[in-house]
A and B are shown apart, each in its own frame.
Chain A
Amino acid sequence: MKIAVVSGKGGTGKTLVAVNLAAAARRAVYIDCDVEEPNGHLFFKPGDAKSREVTVPIPSVDASRCTGCRICTEFCKFNALAYVDNSVQVFAEICHSCGGCALLCPEQAITEQAYSIGRVQRGTLDGVDVWSGFLNPGEPSGVPIIRELLQEETKGPCFIDCPPGSACAVMETIQEADYCILVAEPTIFGVHNLRIVHELVQLFAKPHGAVLNKCLAGDNPAEAYCREQGIEILAKIPLAQDLGQITANAGIAAREDGKYRELFCRLLDRVMEEVRQCSNS
């Protein structure tokens, strides 16, 4: 069962929630799909981690076979190819790796070459399988790395740490999720971001609930939004110095502090119950 932890912006606590849920579950898979800035591995520190490169196919043109017909340049919707001075220029960084140019070239002048955009890393620590994706700096889309991370079968609970926002990378990440946890901050800004991801999970028809993070005494606009929209509130995490300290030191609160263990175990039970109910209905 795959549980995706999402939020409309960075810094709301996706990693905090995903890491602590995986730790609370004891035997679990934690997948860090925030490939631009993966940091779950900083908490789990898997010692035996193995890396594998992720590549995408990019066209390479054999100038001696090219007759300048321009079928490839006309075909490319992203204009990743240009024909100048009797040769094809390839703009690898805007190519979407669709393979169309190689397929259509009547002279078979185009072949595809593997181009590295990052890597995936797998390791295990104390019963938790920790998988992380790393996108090379300067590469604009981590989607191929996310696909690589999510293609593998998982057994038992699997917690997916999503990239922030609601764009392509997040959509790719939640596609196969059985349930989405929306993490929200108790601010007007937080509500705005919550609304965006809430719309997204509804578009994808994903069962979902919210975790209200950084809760203080007094009004919580995110809580008000959840009540108004009928979003199940799964847990409230306080804005507490000790939790901040443990986390800032790359510690896992559910392992280091009894009250947080209880909080995240309760959240885990709640989420599992929600997922069970959703799969039954």
Chain B
Amino acid sequence: MKLAVPVDGSSMQTSVCQSFGRAPYFLIYDTETEEARFFKNDAAAAQGGAGIRAAQWIVDQDVQALLTPRCGNNAALVLQAANIKIYKTQGDSLEENIRAFATEELPVLKDIHPGFHHRRGRF
């Protein structure tokens, strides 16, 4: 199974990023091959809709699950349209969370937040 995780750095020793849309990197992890690839998150510098853009990128990576401490409503709508399951990370450690996911210890993320920003942020 392919997973995505918002992370602060680009190695397995890094921590899970507290922000989803504006995380500096994403880890794409294959649970079968244990292959880990880190990508810079282009959405991090978006003027608006970073969550949507990050979610779009994750959808395009064909992952089946996202592990994140939180997720906004708009991003969740994009992910849900692609049937990507969202799990809530526990603690900061990336490796711990990957392990916890493998042993089915991570809960499904239920508290989707309405977003931190202005909604129609016109001009």
Return chain A residues, CB-CB under 8 Å to B119. Answer: 93-94, 138-140
Q: A79-B46, A89-B78 are in contact. Are A141 and B52 (CB under 8 A)?
A: no
Is B43 part of the binding interface, using a Cβ–Cβ cutoff of 8 Å? yes
> Is B53 a contact of A143 with CB atoms below 8 Å?
no
- B18 touches A (CB below 8 Å): no
**What 1/0 flags go to A116-132 for Cβ under 8 Å of B?**
01000000000000000
Bound state CA distance, A91 and B82, in angstroms? 16
Interface size on A, residues (CB 8 A): 29
Residues of B near A80 (CB, < 8 A) are 48-49, 52
Of B49, B52, B122, which is within 8 A of A144 by CB?
B122
Residues of A contacting B52 in the complex (Cβ-Cβ under 8 angstroms)? 79-80, 82, 91, 94
In the bound complex, do residue B120 and residue A84 qualify as a contact, i.e. CB atoms below 8 Å apart? no
- Which A residues lie within 8 Å of B48 (CB)? 77-80, 94
Instruction: Say whether B50 faces chain A, with CB atoms less than 8 Å apart.
Output: yes
- A78-B48, A78-B49, A91-B49 as given contacts; A97 in contact with B55, CB under 8 Å: no
Within 8 A of B (CB), among A83-103: 83-85, 87, 89, 91-97
A78 touches B121 (CB 8 A): yes
Interface-centre pick from A91, A96, A117, A138 (highest chain B CB count, 10 A): A91
Contact of B10 with A by CB under 8 A:
no
User: Chain A nearest CB: distance from B23 CB in Å?
Assistant: 15
Give CA–CA (A76, B81) in the complex, Å: 20
Cβ contact within 8 Å between A94 and B123 = no
Chain B residues near A143 (CB, 8 Å)?
122-123
Write the nearest CB–CB distance from B52 to chain A, whole angstroms.
4
If A80-B49, A91-B52 touch, whether A141 touches B123 (CB-CB below 8 Å) is yes
B67 → chain A closest CB, angstroms: 19
A76 CA / B52 CA spacing, docked (Å): 11
Instruction: Name, among B49, B59, B77, B78, the residue most crowded by chain A CB atoms within 10 Å (CB to CB).
Output: B49
B110 within 8 A of A: no
Tell whether, in the assembled complex, residue B120 and residue A93 are in contact, meaning their CB atoms are under 8 Å apart: yes
A-chain residues with CB within 8 Å of residue B33 when the two chains form the complex: none
Query: Do residues A172 and B47 form an inter-chain contact, with CB atoms below 8 A?
Result: no
Whether A69 sits at the interface, judged by CB under 8 Å, is: no
- Segment 107-123 of B: residues with Cβ below 8 Å from A: 118-123
A141 vs B59: C-alpha distance when bound (angstroms): 30
Tell whether B56 is near chain A: CB-to-CB under 8 Å.
Answer: yes
B121 cross-chain contacts in A, Cβ below 8 A: 78, 94, 96, 140-141
B120 touches A77 (CB 8 A): no
List the B side residues contacting A76 at CB < 8 Å.
Answer: 49
Give the distance in Å from the alpha carbon of A82 to the alpha carbon of B52 in the complex: 7
Q: Does A60 contact B (CB under 8 A)?
A: no
A185 to chain B, nearest CB (A): 27
A97–B56 Cα distance when bound, in Å, is 21
- Give the residues in chain B near A97, CB-CB below 8 Å: 122
Partner of A77, one of B47, B59, B77, B82: B47
Q: Would you mind naming 8 contact pairs between A and B with Cβ atoms under 8 Å apart?
A: A77-B46, A79-B46, A82-B52, A94-B48, A94-B52, A94-B121, A96-B120, A139-B119
Given A82-B55, A139-B120, 11 new contacts (CB under 8 A): A73-B56, A77-B46, A78-B47, A79-B46, A79-B49, A87-B81, A89-B77, A91-B49, A93-B119, A141-B122, A143-B123
Interface residues of A (CB under 8 A from B): 56, 73, 76-80, 82-85, 87, 89, 91-97, 117, 138-141, 143-144, 168, 172
Nearest 8 interchain pairs by C-beta? A79-B49, A141-B122, A140-B118, A93-B119, A78-B48, A84-B81, A79-B53, A79-B52
